Structure 1
Amino acid sequence: MNDIQTQDDLYKLVDEFYKKLFADERISYIFTEVIPIHLHLEEHLQVLVKFWSQAILGTGGYTNNLTQLHLDVNVKSKLTPELFTIWLHHFYASVDENFKGEKAEQIKTQALSIATILQIKIAQQNPK
């Protein structure tokens, strides 16, 4: 099994990841009802490839505000710690089923960092 080396590898990863998300009724509603990504999935996958390519391969080009995008989703439908756990589970599985190596481990570590930071920002947005 090869490591993540190209944007094509990243596309394979995010495509597999979203197949898992859409198949899991515990989280799929976020992507079909709250923010209907399924209506423009290919465009969304390309944005994700650009994001992960910048983060893992150092290519640059991602200009969206990842944190604000998730804060906006949270306003529409609470992004709970359980949802982040499901998200990470499917992300890790997608990586582990397709890739092995330094970049594969790096992307999993970065996904955990992102999930942690987003949960902190969401908690700050929604003080109890």
Structure 2
Amino acid sequence: MAKSDIATRDDLYALLSAFYGLALVDDLLAGPFAEIRDQGLESHLPVMCDFWETMLFRERKYRRSALSVHRHVHSEHPLTSAHFIRWLTLWWATVDAMFAGPVAEQAKLFGRRTAWAMHRALVGHDADDLDEFVDREALIIR
């Protein structure tokens, strides 16, 4: 059965529900996601749908600073390249399991770019393992 592409907020909601269903109980990511688990995923999903609608559909719904949010998480649970690699592994697998098409590929690309940039902003330097994993050279916009 052919998969459809990501096309609506409902698609994003389903994708993010599945993704966070994995991430919230992942051995490596459980600590950084503790606050979301404690608050309840339902309180987080609308914000994440806004973020991804902004990224993928240019809806301009997300008006927060993703870096500020992650700085807070990083202060409580220092985020390493291993966290970002695991996040990306789960993100890519979830996207691929549920969707196929140009927007799904864009979601994976934005995930790569965001993870790489967020890690660098939080820790202040690159990490060879993350650079290799995301194929940093391919991220450069030419």
* TM exceeding 0.5: yes
- State the number of aligned residues: 122
Q: Distance in 2 between the 1:29 and 1:74 partners? A: 10
Whichever residue aligns with residue 19 of structure 1, its letter is: G
Alpha-carbon offset, residue 123 of structure 1: 1.9
What's 2:81 paired with? 81
Q: Distance in 2 between the 1:83 and 1:124 partners? A: 16
What's 2:36 paired with? 37
1:81-100 aligned within 5 A: 81-100=81-100
1:1-128 aligned within 5 A: 1-32=3-34, 36-38=35-37, 39-124=39-124
Q: Distance in 1 between the 2:75 and 2:25 partners? A: 24
Q: Deviations 1:26-58 (Å, cap 9, x if unpaired)? A: 2112212xxx21223112011000100011011
Whichever residue aligns with residue 4 of structure 1, its letter is: I
Q: Distance in 2 between the 1:118 and 1:104 partners? A: 21
Q: Distance in 2 between the 1:123 and 1:25 partners? A: 22
Give the alignment's TM-score, normalised by structure 1.
0.90
The CA RMSD over aligned residues, in Å, is: 1.2
Q: Distance in 2 between the 1:86 and 1:92 partners? A: 10
Give the % identical residues.
Answer: 31
Give the alignment's TM-score, normalised by structure 2.
0.82
Query: Does the CA contact (< 8 Å) of 2:54 and 2:60 recur in 1?
Result: yes
- Gapped runs of 5+ residues in structure 1? none
Q: Deviations 1:48-70 (Å, cap 9, x if unpaired)? A: 00100011011111111001111
Which consecutive segments of 4 or more residues in structure 1 shift more than 2 A? none
Q: Which has the higher contact order (CA 8 A, sep 6+)?
A: 1
SS of the equivalent of 1:110 reads: helix
- Gapped runs of 5+ residues in structure 2? 126-142
